């Protein structure tokens, strides 16, 4: 470990306490030690430690009571609990209260050192994530943009489900903001100050998914060299977001169903049941009903997840949100790329508003980022906007409104093509006429007509 941490030891037996102190100091830790729970609580108030190793049975205040208090601290240390051999009830309670792990007495010092290192590393990583999330939230304004009637209906539903603990299935095409909605539900729920942990069911190889979700004991399978807690345990007290739930393999579907029914998990390779208080949000862009019908998705799990459905409409069905969204996403992109703020011409905005956006808000986001980079001047014009990664695939009608009339729409297209041909021929009119497959005479006429000289 590159950076050794401060650790609190709470142990009433003097010999055991001093042996632990010597061990940890030898390893380079800075150690403070307490002889009972009350002294430990006082020391914790005065000094910031990254980890605490607590005995369960101590005078004045026992280890589990202390652990409860620690959980309420603003930046709690990682906790390892020491239990007498065979006291599995206390061990389970310690895990449920958020201890990183428990060690049975007599202590195996090697195991203690390994677990302590892991607990501290885990806490540091969680701290980084927390800081990252705060940063992310602050510059995103933590808001979902859009005032269309469809979105207002959605906000109302999000507010209602936030107040409950029920499982929510979030549905919508790719890029509509399913993860953004999951974050909003979590943030507005009573768990808002706790962790929001995400598992992407599609991106983790099938063989690793269960270990990722439920954790495993040492030796549970080949390669499981250490005990590891899973995402469910990691999310204890908070919310677990299961993204792309439609991709869950059948065996994992069965396990997940059991966890949702029992509100408890078992790590792979263990038969200790750990009770858990975790709220589950799931998201999918696939047609779960068909998957159920085809036998690819368990019907019982479908009903378990689908207590409440939040459906996010595709962007093309709420085009009135596009101007506000575009302005917001553009500000975000400018901040991210450290570029000055930019504006969008009415003409370019009309083009954006007319798009079909098969990739929804994410596609709009990418489109604006490209436009921002291309524009340089800080003004985004029509020519900086390309509506799709693959323009040939788009319907040219998407860029046109019927109100414009055939004559004007065709004229606009004609003008754009001539501009583009002249640009790619570097102003050489003979070459441009060849590109356009028209004669030079006609090109000259058109250049005059559209005042392109
Ligand atoms: N209403 C909104 N207001 C502001 N930003 C939004 C909104 N909807 C989506 N976004 C942004 O668009 C991007 C895509 O959203 P998100 O990742 O939540 O979509 P998704 O539905 O989970 O997509 P996928 O199915 O591809 O995973 C994100 O950067 C998100 O912040
Ligand atoms: Mg997503």
At 152-189, the pLDDT tens digits run: 899 889 888 988 899 999 999 989 999 999 999 998 88
Closest Cα to atom 12 of ligand 1: 362
Contacts of 364 (CB under 8 A, 6+ apart): 315, 322, 325, 326, 329, 352, 355, 357
CB 142 within 8 Å of CB 26: no
Q: Where are the domains of the chain?
A: 6-128, 151-313, 320-395, 400-453
- Mutate which of 155, 174, 180 for ligand 1 pocket (most atoms within 8 A of beta carbon): 180
**Is the per-residue pLDDT at 333 higher than 70?**
yes
CATH class of 400-453: mainly alpha
Supply φ then ψ for residue 270, to 5 degrees: -135, 150
pTM for this prediction:
0.61
**Is the per-residue pLDDT at 292 higher than 80?**
yes
- Mutate which of 175, 244, 285 for ligand 1 pocket (most atoms within 8 A of beta carbon): 175
Closest Cα to atom 13 of ligand 1: 362
How many angstroms separate the CA atoms of 436 and 438, rounded?
5
Q: How remote is the C-alpha of 179 from its chain's centroid?
A: 6
Count of positions (residues) in the chain: 453
Q: For domain 151-313, which CATH number applies: 3.40.50.720, 3.40.10.10, 3.40.50.300, 1.20.140.10?
A: 3.40.50.300
- Mutate which of 178, 179, 288 for ligand 1 pocket (most atoms within 8 A of beta carbon): 179
User: Under CATH, what is the fold of the domain 320-395?
Assistant: Helicase, Ruva Protein; domain 3 (1.10.8)
Ligand 1-lining residues (CB < 6 angstroms):
144-146, 172, 174-180, 285, 325, 328, 361-362, 365
Strand residues in 245-397 grouped as ranges (E): 264-265, 274-275, 279-284, 308-311, 343-344, 379-380
How many angstroms separate the CA atoms of 444 and 50, rounded?
76
CB 207 within 8 Å of CB 249: no
Q: Residue 315 corresponds to which tokens in the numbers above?
A: 């962007």
Q: What is the mean pLDDT of residues 357-371?
A: 92
Q: Tell me the ligand closest to 175's alpha carbon.
A: 1
Assign 3-state DSSP to the chain and report helix, strand, coil percentages, each to 5.
50, 15, 35
Tell me, yes or no, if the two domains 151-313 and 400-453 fold the same way: no
pLDDT tens, position by position, 126-151: 766 565 455 444 434 457 898 899 99
Residue keyed to tokens 């929001």? 196
Residues 6-128: name the CATH superfamily: Response regulator (3.40.50.2300)
Strands 264-265 and 274-275: antiparallel
């Amino acid at each position: 470990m590159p950076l050794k941490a401060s650790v609190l030891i709470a142990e009433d037996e003097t010999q055991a306490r001093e042996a632990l102190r010597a061990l940890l100091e030898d390893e380079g830790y800075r150690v403070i030690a307490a002889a009972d729970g009350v002294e430990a609580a006082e020391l914790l108030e005065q000094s910031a430690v990254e980890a605490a190793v607590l005995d369960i049975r101590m005078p004045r205040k026992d280890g589990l009571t202390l652990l409860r208090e620690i959980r309420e601290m603003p930046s709690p240390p990682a906790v390892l609990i020491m239990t007498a051999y065979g006291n599995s009830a206390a061990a389970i309670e310690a895990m449920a209260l958020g201890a990183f792990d428990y060690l049975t007495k007599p202590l195996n010092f090697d195991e203690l050192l390994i677990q302590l290192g892991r607990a501290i590393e885990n806490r540091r990583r969680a701290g980084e994530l927390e800081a990252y999330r705060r940063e992310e939230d602050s510059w995103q304004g933590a808001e979902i943009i859009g005032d269309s009637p469809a979105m207002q209906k959605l906000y109302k539903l999000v507010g209602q489900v936030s107040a409950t603990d029920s499982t929510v299935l979030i549905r919508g095409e790719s890029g509509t903001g399913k993860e953004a909605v999951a974050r909003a539900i979590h943030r507005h729920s009573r768990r808002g100050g706790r962790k929001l942990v995400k598992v992407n069911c599609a991106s983790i190889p099938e063989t690793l998914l269960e270990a990722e979700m439920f954790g495993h004991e040492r030796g549970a399978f080949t390669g499981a060299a250490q005990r590891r807690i899973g995402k469910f345990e990691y999310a204890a007290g908070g919310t677990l977001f299961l993204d792309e739930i439609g991709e869950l393999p059948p065996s994992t579907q069965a396990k997940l169903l059991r966890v949702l029914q029992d509100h408890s998990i078992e790590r792979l390779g263990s038969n200790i049941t750990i009770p858990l208080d975790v709220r589950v949000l799931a998201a999918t862009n696939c047609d779960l009903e068909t998957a159920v019908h085809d036998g690819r998705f368990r019907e019982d799990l479908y009903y378990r997840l689908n207590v409440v459905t939040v459906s996010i409409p595709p962007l093309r069905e709420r085009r009135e949100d596009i101007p506000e969204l575009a302005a917001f996403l553009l500000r975000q992109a400018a901040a991210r790329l450290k570029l000055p703020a930019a504006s969008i011409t009415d003409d370019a905005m009309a083009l954006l508003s007319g798009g079909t956006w098969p990739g929804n808000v994410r596609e709009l986001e990418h489109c604006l980022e490209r436009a921002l980079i291309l524009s340089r001047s800080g003004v985004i014009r029509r020519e900086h906007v390309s509506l799709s990664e693959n323009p040939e695939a788009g319907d040219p009608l998407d860029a046109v409104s019927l109100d414009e009339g055939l004559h004007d729409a065709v004229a606009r297209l004609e003008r754009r093509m001539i501009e583009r041909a002249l640009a790619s021929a570097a102003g050489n009119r003979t070459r441009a006429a060849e590109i356009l497959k028209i004669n030079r005479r006609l090109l000259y006429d058109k250049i005059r007509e559209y005042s392109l000289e």
